[in-house]
């Protein structure tokens, strides 16, 4: 089975439709801020023969696979090992002052989910790792072993929106006093045992806790808060950005930052807006777009996606 059989890019045609108008000229710079296995980038390189790709990913395995997949476009690609908030430095290293199209496909990648030993999936027993970049940094097992009850509760509430955060934090503290919690299977058992019987059918008890641990381990929301402003600042006039989010916390961040970007800079009370105060960006879609029923059925990972898109219409004076 080839890479194209196991990896279906989410909302590919809509991404092409939205970013395409900014990429039609020769020399246009397309940034894939979350390269993954290169599915989106492959399609853009095929359909826009004049573009140059700058692909970012923190996962060395993803960069290797994407590099192999995109080998025939090597003369038009620059792949960079970095977190997605490193977009400005990546553009500088590639010699490009601005980007014409930017895509962020957030969340955990197909590669990470499908490799059980990475510990992202609660349905498979594996070491509690969850690092998107396995070359360094703390693991989920480190978080479980060292965080106090209050900190565990905080991340479960904030990053997992888990209503049983306190109960789960206490259960983890009690269980680790007996033996280290180093595998996903044992953590799942602890969470299931701590879940009241009346709530056992209200979704898998580990889903939100695993999400919270992943976000904490990888500093995802902090990186996103830096990445979106850096990406907006890197867009050329007429440049466009699309962001695909898969959980409500990410989407709320993007919604807020986009809303701030499209505001007029005019001081309150002015009778009319001066040209220098006009908004620098405009939204390309109203609200957040969802995958069609057909795509969600054929590609289950598209079910939770929320798409937002924005365009730079004026440069900074």
84 marked ligand binding residue: yes
57 marked ligand binding residue: yes
247 marked ligand binding residue: no
114 marked ligand binding residue: no
40 marked ligand binding residue: yes
3-class SS string, the chain: CCHHHHCCCCCHHHHHHHHHHHCCCCCCEEEECCCCCCHHHHHHHHHCCCCEEEEEECCHHHHHHHHHHCHHHHHHEEEEECCHHHHHHHHHHHCCCCEEEEEEECCCCHHHHHCHHHCCCCCCCCECCCCCCCCCCCCHHHHHHHCCHHHHHHHHHHHHCCCCHHHHHHHHHHHHHHCCCCEHHHHHHHHHHHCCHHHCCCCCCCHHHHHHHHHHHHCHHHHHHHHHHHHHHHEEEEEEEEEEECCHHHHHHHHHHHHHHCCCCCCCCCCCCCHHHCCCEEECCCCCECCCHHHHHHCHHHCCCEEEEEEECCCCC
Contact, 10 vs 244, CB < 8 A? yes
Angle at which helix 12-19 crosses helix 39-47, to 10 degrees, equals 50
The total of other beta-carbon atoms located within 10 Å of residue 240's CB is 23
67 marked ligand binding residue: no
100 marked ligand binding residue: no
**Binding site listing for S-adenosyl-L-methionine:** 38-40, 57, 84, 105, 112
**Binding site listing:** 38-40, 57, 84, 105, 112
């Amino acid at each position: 089975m080839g890479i194209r059989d196991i990896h279906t890019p989410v909302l590919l045609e809509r991404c092409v439709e939205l970013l395409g108008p900014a990429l039609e000229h020769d020399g246009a710079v397309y940034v894939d801020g979350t390269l993954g296995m290169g599915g989106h980038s492959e399609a853009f390189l095929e359909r826009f023969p004049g573009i140059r790709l700058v692909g970012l990913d923190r996962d060395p395995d993803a960069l290797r696979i994407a590099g192999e997949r995109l080998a025939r476009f090597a003369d038009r690609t620059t792949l960079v090992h970095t977190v997605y908030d490193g977009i400005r430095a990546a553009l500088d290293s590639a010699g490009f002052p601005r980007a014409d199209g930017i895509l962020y496909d957030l969340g955990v990648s197909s590669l990470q989910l499908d490799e059980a030993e990475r510990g992202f999936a609660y349905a498979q027993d594996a070491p509690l790792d969850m690092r998107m970049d396995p070359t360094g940094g703390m693991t989920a097992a480190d978080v479980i072993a060292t965080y106090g009850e209050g900190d565990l509760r905080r991340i479960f509430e904030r990053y997992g929106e888990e209503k049983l955060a306190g109960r789960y934090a206490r259960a983890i503290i009690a269980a680790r006093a007996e033996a280290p919690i180093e595998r996903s299977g044992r953590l799942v058992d602890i969470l299931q045992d701590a879940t009241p019987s009346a709530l056992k059918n209200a979704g898998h008890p580990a889903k939100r806790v695993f999400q919270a641990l992943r976000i904490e381990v990888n500093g995802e929301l902090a990186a996103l808060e830096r990445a979106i402003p850096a990406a907006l600042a890197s867009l050329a006039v007429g440049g466009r950005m699309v962001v695909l989010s898969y959980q409500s916390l990410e989407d709320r961040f993007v919604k807020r930052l986009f809303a701030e970007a499209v505001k007029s800079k005019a001081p309150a009370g002015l009778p009319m807006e001066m040209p220098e105060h006009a908004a620098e960006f405009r939204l390309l879609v109203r609200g957040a777009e969802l995958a069609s029923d057909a795509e969600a059925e054929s590609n289950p990972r598209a079910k939770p996606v929320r798409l937002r898109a924005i365009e730079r219409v004026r440069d900074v004076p």
